[in-house]
Amino acid sequence: MAKRSDKHTSGPLGSGALPAKEQERLRQLYYAGAQLPSPMGGFLEVLHVQTEEDGSGVVIFECLSSSLRFRLPLKAATRTERKAVRERMDAGMDPECPRHEGGRRLQRVGRNFICSACGVRYARA
Ligand SMILES: [Zn+2]
């Protein structure tokens, strides 16, 4: 849980790495469904959401004013989150992403249940 792989902050320009401090704030805004302020001014637009090998997610944003692209890594599902999802499924309900306000239905991709908004894998069929 304390593992931090997003430590590098190799410059705001072009590298795609958002400053570590900004990342936590942007994650909160993203899960709240709010607009994300760009480090370059203006706002960020979601370009692409992907799932990593380890089940964590990555959201790629494009800055609307500079067209620069930024990556926001989102950590893999915790045991608590996976349990909550599984309980819903066991109860015959649609699995929802536990992170977004208002919920977000998980998509089944192969054997995996993935949130299309954060890319995180929460369950396996
Ligand atoms: Zn999600």
Ligand 1 mean position to 10 CA, how many Å? 27
Domain boundary among 34, 59, 74: 74
Instruction: Tally the residues of the chain.
Output: 125
* 64 and 83 within one domain: no
CA of 21 to the centre of ligand 1 (A): 21
> 73: which strand partners?
58
Task: In whole angstroms, give the CA distance from residue 16 to residue 8.
Answer: 11
- Centre of ligand 1 from the C-alpha of residue 87, in Å: 17
Query: What's the confidence (pLDDT) of residue 1?
Result: 41
**Taking the mean position of all CA atoms in its chain, how far away is CA 102?**
15
What letter does residue 1 receive in the DSSP assignment? Answer: -
Quote the pLDDT of residue 102: 87
Q: Number of structural domains, the chain?
A: 2
Beta bridge partners of 122: none
Domain boundary among 74, 93, 110: 74
Check whether 5 has a pLDDT greater than 50.
Answer: no
How far does residue 117's CA lie from ligand 1's centre (Å)? Answer: 5
Q: Which two tokens stand for residue 102?
A: 């208002």
Decide if 40 contacts 65 (C-beta within 8 A): yes
Q: Containing domain of residue 90, as a range?
A: 79-124
pLDDT at 39: 86
The reported pTM is 0.83
110 alpha carbon – ligand 1 mean position (Å): 18
Same domain, 58 and 89: no
Q: Once rounded to an integer, what is the mean pLDDT over residues 115-123?
A: 97
Give the SS3 label for residue 2.
coil
Residue 80: what pLDDT? 97
Segment 37-93, tens digit of pLDDT: 998 889 999 999 999 999 999 999 999 999 899 999 999 999 999 999 999 999 999
